[in-house]
C-alpha cells in the first residue's frame, strides 16, 4: 500500500489517466560511468521507466559496487610510452585519476 491508503493498481490507473506511462524493465546489470573514471555497477537492479510529457525518466534501485575504471587503451598507451608492464601502467593511471601525462611522468621518474 502507498501512503494515504492507495493501492498500487489504483495508483497505476491514476497515473495513466494523467498521461504518465510506467514500465518495469528486466535488467541484468546497470553501469554508470562517472567523470572521475569510476564506475557504479548494479547487479540485478530493479529498474522502472516513467514517461511523462514526452520525457522518459529511469529509476534504478539496488546496491552498486564501485569499480575504478581505467580504459584499456590508456593502459596500453602508458605501458608503450614508458616500457612499464600493463599492471604498473594501470596503477599509475589510477593514482593519477586517469591523467595519462601524469601517469607517464610518474613511471619515467621511477626509471
Q: Tens digit of pLDDT for each residue in 27-73?
A: 999 999 888 778 899 999 999 999 998 999 999 999 999 887 788 88
Which DSSP letter does residue 9 get? Answer: H
Q: Tens digit of pLDDT for each residue in 53-65?
A: 899 999 999 999 9
Q: How far apart, in Å, are the Cα atoms of 107 and each of 36, 84, 85, 96?
A: 21, 7, 10, 11
User: Could you give the number of structural domains in the chain?
Assistant: 2
For the domain that residue 31 is a member of, what is the CATH number? 2.20.70.30
Task: Give me the pLDDT at residue 1, please.
Answer: 44
Task: Give me the pLDDT at residue 37, please.
Answer: 73
Degrees (nearest 5) of the Cα angle 16, 48, 10?
Answer: 35
For the domain that residue 93 is a member of, what is the CATH number? 1.10.8
Degrees (nearest 5) of the Cα angle 93, 96, 98?
Answer: 55
Q: Does 64 share its domain with 76?
A: no
pTM for the full model?
0.57
Range of the domain at 29: 21-68
Amino acid at each position: 500500500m502507498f501512503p494515504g491508503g492507495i493501492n498500487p493498481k489504483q495508483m497505476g490507473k491514476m497515473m495513466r489517466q494523467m498521461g504518465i506511462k510506467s514500465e518495469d524493465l528486466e535488467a541484468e546489470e546497470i553501469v554508470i560511468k562517472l567523470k572521475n573514471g569510476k564506475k557504479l555497477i548494479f547487479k540485478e537492479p530493479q529498474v522502472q521507466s516513467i514517461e511523462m510529457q514526452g520525457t522518459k525518466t529511469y529509476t534504478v534501485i539496488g546496491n552498486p559496487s564501485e569499480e575504478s575504471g581505467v580504459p584499456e587503451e590508456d593502459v596500453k598507451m602508458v605501458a608503450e610510452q614508458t616500457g612499464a608492464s600493463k599492471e604498473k601502467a594501470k596503477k599509475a593511471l589510477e593514482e593519477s585519476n586517469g591523467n595519462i601525462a601524469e601517469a607517464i611522468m610518474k613511471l619515467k621518474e621511477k626509471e
